[in-house]
Structure 1
Amino acid sequence: MFTNYANHFIWILLLFTTITSAQELEGFILDEKTKEPLFGVSVYFDGTTNGTSTNGEGKFSIRYKASTKSALVVSYLGYETQLFDVRKLTNGMSIYLKEKPQSLETVYLENDPWSRKKKMDIFKREFIGKSVDFSECRIMNQKDITVTYNPITQKLNAYAEKPIIIKNKYLGYTITYTMEEFEADLRLTTTGIVLTRSVYVEGSSFYTERNKRVRRKHRKAREREYGQSVLYFMRSLSKKQLRENGFQIFHKGFIVPPYKYFQITKIGEDTKVKLTADRLVVVYDRIHKSFMTILDKNKEFVINKYGNYSPPRKVSFGGVLGDKRIANTLPLDYDL
């Protein structure tokens, strides 16, 4: 990772909400034009294991705990995905889905010079990740993914009209991922090696357990991945619990007090952070090394009360945290 073209990985995390007590939400999903009910619409809390689908009358019912923290996603093939703040929804309401317009593939001035296999290999490397063997984390419907490469901009883009189904044997989940955007900014060396400058992925995900009981190997893997996650780091930073949670901060090769280069200000339930150094090294559990930079002249970002940060494109991680991909990602209700 510590090269001139180190991978920087940003996973968009949506703004989350919380509920004061356990509740059940019921509603109806209808076609915006015909007003007819839609059967089999997926309704789930983004990034969690909590979801359901509509019946023949377009009705859904979903229970959620007081600790549920994510946006409610309504997703249906051929229709635009919608996300909601559950606090603004009322029982019995109707949600109208709009059909997606037929899109034309982007036409470039130059022909795409790469084979589908080459493009898919790069896509899988940057979407699934390199730390887990592809046999342990597989995309089950690769044929539904369109991958394009623009030789002028050296950007690789991917599109999927259907949700991407990922079988993650490493963590013991099946993930349904609705991908809104994927862009890898690449660089070709004179020797033909493809390096990755940055990756941007946006979408929503739903997790289901692959086994009735969580296996020991999966439990251990999940604990390990959560400790090494950006989400855990951001939660620890916002609560000023870096040292307690096993993080050390280094600047120019020397260990420093954890908040020496972080200006932390509470703004209601959010936390405003200003980085006063160009780059910091973050070490977790005395072994796992990452680095952090802010791609903004003000070097500021905001962490909400659930550990999500914005603007996501401006906060860049390298090393262990920068290498994390979907194969390493846990549902957001994992530690609740």
Structure 2
Amino acid sequence: MLGCSTIAAAQAVKGKVYDEKNQPLYGATIFLDGTSISTISGEDGFFQLPVLSKVNSNLVVSYIGYQTVTISAFTTDKDIEVKMVPSTNSLKEVVIKKNRFTRKEMLKLFREQFLGDTKAGRKAVILNEDALDFEYDEQYKVFKASSDQPLVIQNPVLGYEVTYEISDFIVEFKTLSIKSIDTYRILFTGVSRFKETASTADVVKERMKSYRGSVLHFFRSLVSNKLAENKFLLVKRKKAASVKDNFQIKDSEGLKEVKLINNPIQIVSKNNLEQPKFYSFYQVSFESSKTSGITFLTPTFNIDAYGIHSNVNQILFEGDMSNKRVGDLLPTNYGIEE
């Protein structure tokens, strides 16, 4: 744990949760997306959640029977008022359709792509798989998954129970197939909450293995200027690249503002109707054995005190970093001493 600890000053997000009749809602869960930081609202609907001053995570409010509320812009300076809206309890439409692939085959694909084909991914168990719905578009060779309730995942290897509410889950195939080996691209988004279930010596060891070389580890190392110390090697155009020659990093209101300075390529559309795009690609080696690629489609972004980066749709990963799925995810406050 000493290798990733950061001491940071925590403040608190405060607010109240109301139901559709403007009555205080007791027992709503409030959490910081992707972390183990959570609380519940009191009898008067009031909540107080400890967070660092500036974060890139969303604040999420959930309650059974109500639609989940996600708040992207919040501050510790002003109380938040959250009004919950009841969920529409409609029965699922039953459609009898002959599918090329069975539910068993689609469930196998989902587990592999969502949980990951690693030790932790294979050992993780989704407790409510029956909530999952699958769809396969044969014309476009696209597989989609959805769920009308948050998935509850037991991860015995890393010692967490993860609640994951899927927003999108899409797998594109190179050919008409349901096998992971034939996947071309995968995208899934959602909100997640972590609850610790074990902290044995073996679990702590596995967490550190999962953390080392991860996206979180990389960005924390980048802004603390410890890439080399933490066994990362940055490569650009087949040559070793230093942080100081490629990134300008400065403090900005509790965040680390990062600017690419090593001549990112600007792509301008032929008709000049689209906004200019920036492109810069780096290879990242970790411990000389694990290789990843990072494509930046933005010349600037920021990193918060947890190590979470902004512009998530403009920073793309491939290789070892992209192979880590939900089974290998750690809460983003992992290693942060509050």
Q: Does the alignment reach a TM-score above 0.5?
A: yes
Q: Report the aligned-residue RMSD.
A: 3.5
Match of 2:316 in 1: 316
Shift of 1:78: 4.0
* Alpha-carbon distance in 2 for matches of 1:36, 1:191: 48
Check conservation: 2:120, 2:328, Cα contact below 8 A: no
* SS of residue in 1 equivalent to 2:174: strand
Cα distance per residue 1:51-92 (max 9 Å; x no partner): 22345x46243442557844321012343322334425745x
Counterpart amino acid of residue 289 in structure 1: T
* Greater shift in the superposed pair: 241-250 or 224-233: 241-250
Q: Which runs of 4+ in 1 moved over 6 A?
A: 102-108, 189-193
1:159 corresponds, among 146, 157, 163, to 146
1:30 corresponds, among 5, 13, 18, to 18
Match of 1:262 in 2: 246
Equivalences for residues 42-53 of structure 1 within 5 A: 42-53=29-40
Equivalences for residues 217-296 of structure 1 within 5 A: 217-251=202-236, 254-259=238-243, 262-264=246-248, 266=250, 268=252, 269=255, 270-273=257-260, 275=264, 279-294=281-296, 296=297
Match of 2:301 in 1: 302
Shift of 1:169: 0.7
Structure 2 gap ranges (5+):
1-7, 266-278
Cα distance per residue 1:34-67 (max 9 Å; x no partner): 3344444221122222222345x46243442557
Closer, same or farther: CA 325–282 of 1 in aligned 2, 3 Å:
same
Check conservation: 2:28, 2:62, Cα contact below 8 A: yes
Check conservation: 1:112, 1:151, Cα contact below 8 A: no
* Alpha-carbon distance in 2 for matches of 1:80, 1:192: 34
Check conservation: 1:128, 1:325, Cα contact below 8 A: yes
Cα distance per residue 1:121-145 (max 9 Å; x no partner): 1111111001126552111110111
Please report the TM-score for the alignment, with normalisation by the length of structure 2.
0.77
Q: Does 1:148 align with 2:141?
A: no
Structure 1 gap ranges (5+):
1-18
* Greater shift in the superposed pair: 185-194 or 129-138: 185-194
Please report the TM-score for the alignment, with normalisation by the length of structure 1.
0.77
Shift of 1:293: 3.1
* Alpha-carbon distance in 1 for matches of 2:177, 2:330: 38
Cα distance per residue 1:177-214 (max 9 Å; x no partner): 12222122222268977522222222211111113xx2
Shift of 1:216: 0.8
Equivalences for residues 44-123 of structure 1 within 5 A: 44-54=31-41, 57=43, 59-64=45-50, 66=52, 69=55, 70-84=57-71, 85-87=73-75, 90-91=78-79, 94-100=81-87, 112-123=99-110
Cα distance per residue 1:86-141 (max 9 Å; x no partner): 425745x5420123457898999x96532211211111111100112655211111
